[in-house]
Chains A and B, each alone.
Chain A
Amino acid sequence: MKIRKDKYTLQGLATILGMLLLGLVLWQFQFYGAGASLIFMGLMLTVIFLYTATKPREYFIRDERTVRINEKAGYHAFWILVMCLGILTMANWSTEILYKDVSAPLAIIALGSWNILRWYYDKKGYETDP
């Protein structure tokens, strides 16, 4: 596994280390919630960092194809979200579901479907012909 050593990688590494250190300091001063959140985010960022740092910089260029993929995935993720809201509304006729209780799962569905669709269209190639 070869890790890039450019300034972007170093900036990312510094951010992660800063977050983890700040999280540990906050934890020491008994701010458990904020400390744990920062440590958790730092660990999540470490996973993302290890993935991105091993890819060449050109891999992350936002060219016209990736912009189109993002737009198309966003469009379909939006309609998936609308469909979920429609199902919830129908379910609400028989049960007492509050939207605020399902807002977090809905956000996960929207973000998850957007990311999965982006990955799918990236692998598929994305034809622009109708």
Chain B
Amino acid sequence: MKTRIKELRARYDLTQEELAKKVGVRRETILFLEKGKYNPSLKLAYTIAKVFDSTIEDVFILDDE
């Protein structure tokens, strides 16, 4: 799973800490999401997409492999 969180965070001028607070998770969770080492629940994916005024498909990209 790849994500565009880092790119969108930069566009919205948000730190990992600020995004974590907005979506109600730990900063480490955002870090692992950006690294692609954690697959979020549908609820968290939706909440993150909502922060960036995007859809889940815009933020999270599923690898075909």
Contact = CB atoms under 8 A, between A and B. Distances in A.
Interface of A: 58-59, 61, 63-66, 122, 124-129
A40 to B, nearest CB: 32
Contacts, number: 43
A24 B38 CA distance: 48
A10 B21 CA distance: 23
B44 A58 contact: no
Nearest to B20: A58
B37 A63 contact: no
B29 interface: yes
B20 A127 contact: no
B38 A61 contact: no
A125 B39 contact: no
Contact of A129 (B20, B21, B32, B39): B39
Interface residues of B, number: 19
Interface in B20-42: 20-21, 24-29, 32, 35, 37-41
Contacts of A126: 32, 37-38
28 contacts: A58-B20, A58-B21, A58-B27, A59-B26, A59-B27, A61-B24, A61-B26, A63-B24, A63-B25, A63-B26, A64-B43, A64-B44, A65-B25, A65-B26, A65-B28, A65-B38, A66-B26, A122-B28, A124-B37, A125-B35, A125-B38, A126-B32, A127-B37, A127-B39, A128-B38, A128-B39, A129-B1, A129-B39
